[in-house]
Amino acid sequence: MTLDEVYRMIDEQARGLIFDMDGTLTDSNPAHLKAWTRACKAFGMKYPKEKFYYYAGLSSLHIARDLIRQSGLEGKVDPEALSARKEQEFFRVEEMVKPVPEVLEIVRRYQGRLPLAVGTGRRRSSTTATLEHLDLLKYFDVIITADDVTRHKPEPDTFLECARHMGVPPDRCVVFEDAERGLEAARRAGMIVVNVTMWLPPMVTE
């Protein structure tokens, strides 16, 4: 879809907009890849770069548990510790993170005209820090993170919570996403979905 087509669809159908963060609002995938690689190395593990997109949309704790299991280190490495170390490493490389220009244009166009929400699989502290770093926090009325739901993407709970807090029926919400789990979560929530991968630069994981 072109931006003009997105604007037309929003104007005709939407009463609220919901944005995933990583790979949608922000071009942050290279930073996350570096952070996970460094965090795993600190625990004597190797991060499987080829699985980066497989993990897209999952919470960091869920990813940490799977990485530990894949490495055969269950009971030896604490998932919470690995997840926390990843967040620390991400803060160290946060200067790599940039807004996605087309998505930021949509946010700016509809701020004050429609309620805007962030629905992400990240922890709240990390989410807020990145939004503040990029001067984006001021645009959003609602922020729902991995800390706010028990079932994460591809379950619809994150986006349904966004809709509930915005006071907008799910079928009048437009979700902007890049990851297949997030796209599936939006579809399960009965929302209108825009896949933003057309606006993202390619990232090499090999």
Task: Round to whole Å and give the CA distance between 118 and 37.
Answer: 26
Tally the residues of the chain: 206
Mark the ranges of the chain whose per-residue pLDDT is less than 70.
Answer: 203-206
Catalytic residue among 20, 27, 157, 178: 20
pLDDT recorded at residue 204: 47
pLDDT recorded at residue 203: 56
pLDDT tens profile 157-193: 999 999 999 999 999 999 999 989 999 999 999 999 9
Residue 119 sits in the same domain as residue 67: no
Sign of CA dihedral 104, 105, 108, 114: negative
Residue 43 sits in the same domain as residue 23: no
Of 70, 94, 118, the last residue of a domain is 94
DSSP 114: B
Residue 13 sits in the same domain as residue 45: no
pLDDT recorded at residue 201: 74
Six-digit token string for 202: 């390619």
How far out from the chain centre does Cα 98 lie? 14
In a domain, 55, yes or no: yes
Residue 183 sits in the same domain as residue 122: yes
Residue pair 126/87 in contact by the 8 Å Cβ criterion: yes
pLDDT recorded at residue 191: 98
In a domain, 124, yes or no: yes
Q: Total structural domains in the chain? A: 2
Of 94, 112, 129, the last residue of a domain is 94
pLDDT recorded at residue 38: 97
CATH code, domain carrying 85: 1.10.150
Residue 90 sits in the same domain as residue 111: no
In a domain, 205, yes or no: no
pTM of the model: 0.85
Question: Residue 156 in 3-state DSSP?
Answer: coil
In a domain, 206, yes or no: no
Residue 59 sits in the same domain as residue 117: no
Residue 34 sits in the same domain as residue 16: no
131 by Cβ neighbours in 10 Å (0-12 / 13-18 / 19+) ranks as buried
> What residue has token string 């809709």?
163
Task: Round to whole Å and give the CA distance between 136 and 72.
Answer: 40
**Domain of residue 186, residue span:** 3-28+97-199
Count of other CB atoms within 10 angstroms of residue 101: 9
How far out from the chain centre does Cα 10 lie? 21
Residue 101 sits in the same domain as residue 171: yes
CA angle 197, 199, 202 (to 5 degrees): 70
Q: Is 27 a catalytic residue?
A: no
Six-digit token string for 193: 């979905």
